Structure 1
Amino acid sequence: MPYHASRRLLLAAAALAALPAAGSASAAGTRRPAPVTGPARLAARMSLAEKVGQLFVTRVYGHSATAPDPADAESNLAHFGVRTAAEVVSAYHVGGIVYFGWAHNTRSPQLVAELSEGLQRAALAGPSGIPLLLSVDQEHGAVARIGRPATLFPGAMALGAAGDAAGAREAARIAGAELAALGIRQDYAPVADVNVNPANPVIGVRSFGSDPRAVAELVAAQVRGYQESGIAATAKHFPGHGDTETDSHVGLPVMRHTRAQWEELDEPPFRAAVRAGADAVMTAHIVFPALDPSGDPATLSRPIVTGLLRERLGFRGVVVTDALDMAGVRQKYGDDRVPVLALKAGCDQLLNPPDLRLAIRSVLAAVRSGELTEDRIDASLLRILELKLRRGLFAGPLPRPGEVPAAVGTAEHLAAADAIAAGTTTLLADPDGLLPLSPAVRPRLLVTGADPGSPSGTTGPPTAALARELAALGFTTQTVPTGTAPTEAAVAAAVAAARGQDAVVVLTYNVPVAEAASGGQYALVQRLVDTGVPVVALAVRNPYDAARLPRTAAALASYAWTDVELRAAARVLAGRTSPSGRLPVPVPGAYPLGHGLTY
């Protein structure tokens, strides 16, 4: 049942002057928020447990709020002591839920909307009737939790290759509108990291590029696009994760930039996000000695969170931690101390602690002992409540699952994604003028190489998806996937299939430096070249592959392997679209920043 704001509430919202009180019961039995005079009045009516709960954003298991599959019920029971997602909301008064595919929250857009509706009903039935802020990592490209039939757009580095701020803004606007239709009001995007390290194992194509000014322009564009659709944009990962060689999911990275380098390279996109009005900024689990010599990760660093983000950049919105179950934030302190230290540093939202019960108990104990004051809790609480109000949650928190088909993955949205993707594919090399391929001249194509797994935006393995797109353009295609670490048998199968073909398109995926001139993907490409059949190499993630492979007849970069990017690459291969993408990062030893050929 939808909730509609009164005229008085709508007029007051712009001035943050209306929030729900404890609530009154609706005819359907779900608590309906009632307006009061402001966030402080609402906070004054809340217990300490309710206030602390509002600071946490947790995962839940299952695609249904009240009727989980048995395995998901067991997971909820093991982690939270209750069986359903709705009971997690009720028991802990959490302020938000983050959706994950591995938690079985994102099976389809329709089910996501139904889950959102059920979770919001549980929140509205609570003692304060405060709606949830539902969130997701929907960066597009390599990281997308919600797949088809939702519209998937090119990822950040592909948008960086296009260099079109208007296109980036439109992609975020449409993506945000679809998330809103599912009840999601916070996206952990855009990535504001400047990727200046080809060995970065966790950012790479999730970044718009290596030029801080270009990245800043695209970050600001996406912030505006998301928030035009009512979605809280979240610039991440402050103070910058672009020059690290450790994945903070599994270790604690160290940024070696000087303070001057940070100001020149890492700061500009975050400053642009703040100026664009970003609702939220996410912290990084990295050590940055030039900014804080204590050895604490940035998430737990008051000099970084408060000193730089709040005071230097003037950010007044919500600071959300990166996930607290990641190794980078857990190495120095125990799980009981991390949430307390994050709040002391200046963070507001505490994202996905590994043990929610322990985390809440620890914060409550810190308040009772005096380590944290209730005023400090209130400061974060008020920022979160204001964000919920600004994003319309008190006016209408419930999505309408029945309207999802008309709002998500529409023909208009899909056409916009293809139009934006048309400018992303980068032609790196074509020394002999092989491209474009013509089905009249070279009708038989082998598509082989890496199948790095199927992200949400791909219908099947990438080799099969690209072959399907090329077949639709008139080619006769054969597919021989070899994986990202091809065995001798896989290489032999691809080489055998290449003979008799008119050309080979080989997909490569993050070729390791140590693999160059030896085994794996390098050996696959070399053996294919040795057949004498023209070989086109398509880097489907980081473009740095171009410097780590043998010379081929042509080389391109698509920056991801989702359908929309592979469809754009297929059209470039076939000459239906002229390549116009330009490298948003340099490829050391091969191509400079901004390189790109056309025909």
Structure 2
Amino acid sequence: MSLRRLLAPLCAGTLLLTTACSEGGEVAPAPRADPPAASDPGEGAAEILADMSLEEKVGQLFVPTLTGTTPEESAEVISAYHPGGFIYFPDNLQDTEQIVALSNGLQDRAVDDSGVPMFLGIDQEQGMVSRLPVGERFPDAMAVGATRDPDAATSLASVTAAELSALGINLDYAPVADVNINADNPVIGIRSFGSDPALVSELMTAEADAFEAGGVVPVAKHFPGHGDTDVDSHTGLPVIDKTRAEWEEVDLPPFVAAVESDIDMIMIAHVFMPELDDSGEPATLSPGIVTGILREELGYDGVVSTDALNMEGVRQTHDDGEIAVMAVLAGADQLLMPPDLATAHAAVVSAVEEGRITEERLDESVLRVLRLKLRRGLFDAAPVDPGEAAEVVGSAEHKDAAQQVADSSVTLLRNEGGVLPLREGASVRVVGSGSEEIGAELEGMGFTLAASAADADVAVVGTNGARGDAEQKGLVTQAQDAGVPVVVVAQGNPYDISELPGLDGYLATYSSVDVSRAAAARVIAGEVNPSGRLPVDIPGTDLAFGDGLTY
């Protein structure tokens, strides 16, 4: 029997769901869901759990994707599977008003169904992994690493949390806790704060604390570490062949920091680390890693989420139903993005009925999920207001905050002959990645945009992953052939310089968002004094962690 059906509205007592009684006995609006009164979230969660059916309990483990842009399109999923949450993607999102209506409608349906509100989550790391079509875009995590400033991390997460909360989104699959030490990493790169475990730990914790303070559940990812891979787990299973001692030195510290700070949630990666578990299974399905290391050795008792279960890194040896069962047996509490929700839900229900997953094991996960929902106030949350959201999302204050982080992140790594800052009145040829935005900023500061490099005093070439791109390298070569000083603005990872010899100037912004391109122009013009420092080593060069020039 669902919690809502069990706890029927009675004006003689305290209502537990979506209505409340006025002094005159009339029904009046109230917060969506009010859990049974208890002295702590653990007691309240236990009371809720006691009145849930098996299907409702299993539902709390799942976080599927949404269909469409309206809550009505997911009504059948809610009533059939009682999911613990949903994850938003760009196809579900249009504008502020629509997102607010979607969030409110989904929560209303969840409470009407089972009495338990949902995690409404999103991948809004900022930078390259940003799903919202509205709101302020901050630079990527590596740019924050270049600032060396925990306040920059706090600013990013505080603004992001304010905007997400205003839209009814209460969980963010961020921050990234991976230590990126592999320049060829195809999936992490600038999503990481850098290559130093202490720096990553400090900035990751600052972001997580700010998310929690802003009412948004943070998710540290991807345990046991995805920063030293050369395979994208979306398309294959990365194998990380390092010793346990090497892992403990490099990859582990940020997750220890996450556990010590009692972070709300940790995500497990689809990676195979034979020195941690030689079963051949990805960490997602490994009891030795999830339960043995994360739970027992590190002492983490928060919510554990899988990475997306539709990724190839976890789908190579088992069917989708078995994967869901094995993830629960490994120790996961939330199963993210099952490719077939019906199959996965039925498989877990059957595994419980058959005793393969004990009811005690199931209840452990459901209690963790419910405790977190109680602790983060989901049961007390009123519907979000579209008018308030319109004022908060993308505000001028948030824009200024993002620009400050971008300005302080720009790292000057080459400045031969003092080519930068540009002399007053110089003509500039701007080409490549971000050329329109960088050029417009420079023109607005009084510089002339030349029609060709040969007509310019300086050529500025924007790159984004030029190491493996002959066309981008060609733009740099063409500018050098014109015989003018060439300045490269690397807007992806900072490693491009390793294959771009002979540059006069080289700036790393670690991001291609608008504020980062504006920051690059401001540094080139001398409006901003470069203060960023490399958060990684650059193989094949003399540039190392901590390097950075100034004017």
Scaled by the length of structure 2, the TM-score of the pair is: 0.92
Q: Check conservation: 2:193, 2:200, Cα contact below 8 A.
A: yes
1:32 deviation in Å?
A: 4.5
Q: Is 2:80 aligned against 1:91?
A: yes
Q: Check conservation: 1:117, 1:399, Cα contact below 8 A.
A: yes
Hey, what's the Cα distance between the residues in 2 that align with 1:507 and 1:59?
36
Q: Is 2:216 aligned against 1:231?
A: yes
State the partner residue of 1:509. Answer: 464
1:504 deviation in Å?
A: 1.8
Secondary structure of the structure 2 residue equivalent to 1:234: strand
Secondary structure of the structure 1 residue equivalent to 2:380: coil
Q: Is 2:30 aligned against 1:43?
A: no
Secondary structure of the structure 2 residue equivalent to 1:394: helix
Q: Check conservation: 1:223, 1:277, Cα contact below 8 A.
A: no
1:470 deviation in Å?
A: 2.1
How far does the alpha carbon of each residue in 1:512-557 deviate from its partner, in whole angstroms, 9 at most, with x for none?
Answer: 35x6xxx432222112101112211111101000111132221111
Q: Any residues of structure 2 matched to 1:190-269 within 5 Å, and which?
A: 190-269=175-254
Secondary structure of the structure 2 residue equivalent to 1:332: coil
Q: Is 2:503 aligned against 1:552?
A: yes
Secondary structure of the structure 2 residue equivalent to 1:243: coil
Secondary structure of the structure 2 residue equivalent to 1:337: helix
Hey, what's the Cα distance between the residues in 2 that align with 1:174 and 1:325?
30
1:469 deviation in Å?
A: 2.1
Hey, what's the Cα distance between the residues in 2 that align with 1:28 and 1:61?
32
Secondary structure of the structure 1 residue equivalent to 2:449: strand
Secondary structure of the structure 2 residue equivalent to 1:505: strand
Provide structure 1 residue ranges, at least 5 long, that are not aligned to the other structure: 1-18, 67-83, 451-461, 479-495
1:332 deviation in Å?
A: 1.8
Hey, what's the Cα distance between the residues in 2 that align with 1:174 and 1:208?
18
Q: Check conservation: 1:156, 1:208, Cα contact below 8 A.
A: yes
Provide structure 2 residue ranges, at least 5 long, that are not aligned to the other structure: 1-13, 22-26, 39-43
> Among residues 516, 521, 545, which one is paired with 1:593 in the alignment?
545
State the partner residue of 2:358. Answer: 373
> Among residues 107, 111, 128, which one is paired with 1:120 in the alignment?
107
State the partner residue of 2:129. Answer: 143
Hey, what's the Cα distance between the residues in 1 that align with 2:17 and 2:377?
18
Q: Any residues of structure 2 matched to 1:67-82 within 5 Å, and which?
A: none
Hey, what's the Cα distance between the residues in 2 that align with 1:363 and 1:397?
32
Q: Is 2:452 aligned against 1:497?
A: yes
Hey, what's the Cα distance between the residues in 2 that align with 1:28 and 1:377?
36
Hey, what's the Cα distance between the residues in 2 that align with 1:551 and 1:145?
38
1:412 deviation in Å?
A: 1.7
> Among residues 500, 522, 526, which one is paired with 2:473 in the alignment?
522
Paired letter, 2:461: V
State the partner residue of 2:93. Answer: 106
Q: Check conservation: 1:525, 1:550, Cα contact below 8 A.
A: no
1:109 deviation in Å?
A: 3.0
Aligned length: 526
Paired letter, 2:80: A
Hey, what's the Cα distance between the residues in 1 that align with 2:342 and 2:382?
26
State the partner residue of 2:488. Answer: 537
Q: Any residues of structure 2 matched to 1:166-205 within 5 Å, and which?
A: 166-205=151-190
Secondary structure of the structure 2 residue equivalent to 1:504: strand
How far does the alpha carbon of each residue in 1:112-133 deviate from its partner, in whole angstroms, 9 at most, with x for none?
Answer: 222101111111111x211111
Q: Is 2:319 aligned against 1:349?
A: no
Q: Is 2:68 aligned against 1:62?
A: yes
How far does the alpha carbon of each residue in 1:108-159 deviate from its partner, in whole angstroms, 9 at most, with x for none?
Answer: 2332222101111111111x211111000111111111143x1222211000
Hey, what's the Cα distance between the residues in 2 that align with 1:359 and 1:413?
40
State the partner residue of 1:314. Answer: 299
Q: Check conservation: 1:20, 1:130, Cα contact below 8 A.
A: no
Q: Check conservation: 1:109, 1:146, Cα contact below 8 A.
A: no
Scaled by the length of structure 1, the TM-score of the pair is: 0.85
Secondary structure of the structure 2 residue equivalent to 1:429: strand
Q: Check conservation: 2:32, 2:381, Cα contact below 8 A.
A: no
Provide closer, same or farther for how the CA distance between residues 389 and 20 of structure 1 changes in structure 2, counting only shifts above 3 A.
Answer: farther
State the partner residue of 1:11. Answer: none
Q: Any residues of structure 2 matched to 1:572-583 within 5 Å, and which?
A: 572-583=523-534
State the partner residue of 2:318. Answer: 333
State the partner residue of 1:482. Answer: none
Amino-acid identity (%): 50
State the partner residue of 1:132. Answer: 118
Hey, what's the Cα distance between the residues in 1 that align with 2:471 and 2:32?
60
Provide closer, same or farther for how the CA distance between residues 50 and 467 of structure 1 changes in structure 2, counting only shifts above 3 A.
Answer: same
1:354 deviation in Å?
A: 0.6
1:560 deviation in Å?
A: 0.8
State the partner residue of 1:447. Answer: 430
Q: Check conservation: 1:224, 1:277, Cα contact below 8 A.
A: no
Hey, what's the Cα distance between the residues in 1 that align with 2:329 and 2:228?
27
> Among residues 50, 59, 67, which one is paired with 1:53 in the alignment?
59
Secondary structure of the structure 2 residue equivalent to 1:445: strand
Deviates more, 1:209-218 or 1:415-424: 415-424
Provide closer, same or farther for how the CA distance between residues 31 and 159 of structure 1 changes in structure 2, counting only shifts above 3 A.
Answer: closer
Provide closer, same or farther for how the CA distance between residues 20 and 327 of structure 1 changes in structure 2, counting only shifts above 3 A.
Answer: farther
Secondary structure of the structure 2 residue equivalent to 1:432: helix
Provide closer, same or farther for how the CA distance between residues 595 and 85 of structure 1 changes in structure 2, counting only shifts above 3 A.
Answer: same
Provide closer, same or farther for how the CA distance between residues 422 and 22 of structure 1 changes in structure 2, counting only shifts above 3 A.
Answer: closer
> Among residues 388, 404, 407, which one is paired with 1:419 in the alignment?
404
Q: Any residues of structure 2 matched to 1:379-458 within 5 Å, and which?
A: 379-438=364-423, 440-442=424-426, 444-450=427-433
How far does the alpha carbon of each residue in 1:256-285 deviate from its partner, in whole angstroms, 9 at most, with x for none?
Answer: 121001110000001111222210000000
Q: Check conservation: 1:57, 1:95, Cα contact below 8 A.
A: yes
Q: Check conservation: 1:131, 1:397, Cα contact below 8 A.
A: no
Deviates more, 1:496-505 or 1:537-546: 496-505
Q: Is 2:251 aligned against 1:296?
A: no
1:63 deviation in Å?
A: 2.2
Secondary structure of the structure 1 residue equivalent to 2:384: coil
Q: Check conservation: 1:31, 1:124, Cα contact below 8 A.
A: no
Secondary structure of the structure 2 residue equivalent to 1:423: helix
> Among residues 415, 431, 435, which one is paired with 1:463 in the alignment?
435
Q: Check conservation: 1:158, 1:425, Cα contact below 8 A.
A: yes
Runs of 4+ in 1 over 4 A off after TM superposition: 19-32
Paired letter, 1:94: P
Hey, what's the Cα distance between the residues in 1 that align with 2:154 and 2:356?
43
Q: Check conservation: 1:581, 1:596, Cα contact below 8 A.
A: yes
Q: Check conservation: 2:17, 2:111, Cα contact below 8 A.
A: no
Provide closer, same or farther for how the CA distance between residues 250 and 257 of structure 1 changes in structure 2, counting only shifts above 3 A.
Answer: same
Paired letter, 1:116: S
